[in-house]
Amino acid sequence: MLYVFLVFNISFGIVYYMWKQADKWKLETSTLTYEDFPEGFDEIKLFFISDIHKRSIPDEMIEFVKGKADLVLLGGDLMERGVPFDRVRKNIQQLKRIGPVYFVWGNNDYEVDYHQLDALLLDEGVIILDNTAVTFESKIGEKLILLGVDCPTNKRDNLPLALKDSEEGFKILMSHDPSIVDKIHIEDNIRLTVAGHTHGGQIRIGPFGLYEKGGIKELNETVLFVSNGYGTSALPLRLGAPAQVHLITITSS
């Protein structure tokens, strides 16, 4: 009987700890330098958040980042089945306090009435990058290109179409699913790819998890930046893969 009592209490304690971990978040700051980054921009600062799912964005987060980022990149899974649209609207309005918001679709965004979500995003002035690109120009005419693909998990991505929509310049790609790197070629000249989706494995036992932890990898085709994400999927639990949001500075070396 004592053994059963101990096992129950230890198990409860572990689950409670994971539940509390899922409720936390950390702002990670990263600086990426490139020899070919356009000097006319000096630097660009990106606030990247992915996989919000059921969570709300607190004022504390906004106050940390406000005035420090040029653009907000929203990497998909903004919501999932059962999340009220008024919560999604409030989250978007919070992010708009930081800067212009650019969005790519995630697989869970298609669990809901995605036409309604699309209308909400457009109503809030969010730029949806669904196999499209936007161009930013420095004062001396240099180009910085932000591309976004629709969700590769659902086979809605079309990177060639996004590239066709882009101009020549320094290219940054946003994709919900990091598997998009399998479709990137060196000649595409995509210098950075940001993604989420994996949650860093969400629950890791030591080095083991369903997916790798988030991080930065230098590949032949691109630099891949993967976030652990902000929310959780299936179970509101985390272990060994803390929730993250990111302030990414890109500059010339």
Q: What is the pLDDT of residue 194?
A: 98
Q: Is the Cβ–Cβ distance between 126 and 95 less than 8 Å?
A: no
**Range in 36-50, 121-135, 155-169, 200-214 the model is least confident about:** 200-214
Domain harbouring 78, CATH code? 3.60.21.10
pLDDT tens by residue, 8-28: 556 678 889 989 999 999 999
Please enumerate in sequence order all residues whose Cβ is within 8 A of that of 142, keeping only pairs 6 or more positions apart, or say none: 38, 39, 40, 41, 169, 170
pLDDT tens by residue, 200-233: 999 998 888 888 999 999 999 999 999 999 999 8
Mean pLDDT of 221-249: 96
∠ at Cα 10 (7, 15), nearest 5°?
120
Q: What is the pLDDT of residue 210?
A: 87
State both tokens at 178. Answer: 């990091």
Mean pLDDT of 178-204: 97
Q: Which residue in 98, 48, 49, 38 sits closest to 251, CA to CA?
A: 38
Give the structural domain span for 181: 2-252
**Structural domain tally of the chain?**
1
Q: 3-class SS at 160?
A: helix
pLDDT at residue 115 greater than cutoff 90: yes
Give the pLDDT band of residue 5 (cuts 50, 70, 90): very low
